[in-house]
Amino acid sequence: MIEDLRKRNVHWAATKARIDPEYFRRLSAQQSPDYLWIGCSDARVPANEVVSLDPGELFVHRNVANLAPPQDANFLSVLQFAVEVLKVKHVIVCGHYGCGGVRAALSGKRHGLIDHWLAPIRCLYEDDVEHFDRILDFEARLNAVCEANVLAQVRAVAANPFVLDAWTRGQRLAIHGWIYSIKDGLIRDLGASVSGRKDAARLRGRTAALPKPASPRAAESADR
């Protein structure tokens, strides 16, 4: 089911590019559903469109920097409804490279209320600052934090009591970590899918290694 979405995405990107070869270049220059999408509010990442699903096929929650905060009533209401009422089979956390929310969190500047919202990303960065600061190119570093943030949100969803209770009931439910590139319209699977408590434990063990590029050079080539 999930692989089908990836194929749809590739097809969508190819079709758009064939009809209008300038489509992605132009975009990058500006700035009963089976799936719950947790994505960024960024207008360039329209959930349904990028996986080529019709309205009604995707339950969508978007906020700045695609967070899944365990104390946010808005997010928790969406998650509970999706899991317990809609009984979605998949929860997809989809971040995107070049995220303005992540950029703001890394900037060290004051922006107002949003600084509080973005504090978890700042913490994520500071917890592993030596690793991230070895990536000298700022855009590459930003993208590494974007990926790390997606993985952190997958862990948060996998640790959420609504999700744990669903697994305890034997409900089929998988969490996935994806990241989208505005520059080519393609989604990358970060290989962090979780479909039960054991998976979640394994993911916790793997977190430190997962988002880390092999070298600053690798990180730069990963910058899209």
Which residues are annotated as catalytic? 40, 42, 44, 96, 99
Query: Do 84 and 131 contact (CB within 8 A), yes or no?
Result: no
Tell me the site size for Co ion, rule CB under 5 A.
4
Query: Do 103 and 53 contact (CB within 8 A), yes or no?
Result: no
Q: Is there binding between residue 40 and Co ion (CB under 5 A)?
A: yes
Residue 194 per-residue DSSP state: B
In the set 13, 36, 42, 82, which binds Co ion (CB under 5 A)? Answer: 42
Whose structure tokens read 């699903």? 53
Closest distance to Co ion from the beta carbon of 85 (Å): 28
Query: End-to-end CA distance of the chain, in Å?
Result: 27
Which stretch of DSSP H or E encloses residue 170? Answer: none
Strands, E, within 45-173: which ranges? 58-63, 90-96
Closest distance to Co ion from the beta carbon of 102 (Å): 7
Which stretch of DSSP H or E encloses residue 179? Answer: strand 174-180
Q: Is there binding between residue 142 and Co ion (CB under 5 A)?
A: no
Q: Is there binding between residue 147 and Co ion (CB under 5 A)?
A: no
Structure tokens at 168: 């305890």
47/173 with CB nearer Co ion: 47
Closest distance to Co ion from the beta carbon of 64 (Å): 7
What string marks each residue from 80 to 109 as x (binds Co ion by CB under 5 A) or -? -------------------x-x--------
Closest distance to Co ion from the beta carbon of 179 (Å): 11
- Where do contacts with Co ion occur on this chain (CB under 5 A)? 40, 42, 99, 101
